[in-house]
Amino acid sequence: MSSEVKKAEENKAIEIKEEDDVKEKDVEEVKEVETSLGQKIKDQWQLILKIIQLVFCCLCLGMYFPPANQSANLAKHHLEQVGLIFLAFIGYILINAVFIVSRCLKDKIPFRISALFSLIAALLFFVSGILLIVDRRDKFQGTHYEPHMYLASMLSAATVFSFVNAVLFAVDGVYTFILKLDF
Q: Return all residues near 9 (Cβ < 8 A) that are at least 6 apart.
A: none
Strand, coil or helix: what is 133?
Answer: helix
CA angle 161, 163, 166 (to 5 degrees): 110
Burial degree of 128 (CB within 10 A; 0-12, 13-18, 19+): buried
CB count, 10 Å around CB of 88?
A: 27
Q: What is the pLDDT of residue 25?
A: 63
Q: Return all residues near 102 (Cβ < 8 A) that are at least 6 apart.
A: 109, 183
What is the block-wise mean pLDDT of the chain (183 residues), using blocks of 10 residues? 67 66 61 70 89 96 87 67 92 96 93 96 97 82 62 90 97 94 84
Q: What is the pLDDT of residue 22?
A: 59
Q: What is the pLDDT of residue 57?
A: 96
The answer to whether the beta carbons of residues 95 and 172 sit under 8 Å apart is no
Q: Torsion-angle region of residue 106: left (phi > 0), alpha (psi -120 to 50) or beta?
A: left
Q: What is the pLDDT of residue 118?
A: 96
Half-sphere exposure of 57 (CA within 13 A, CB side): 24
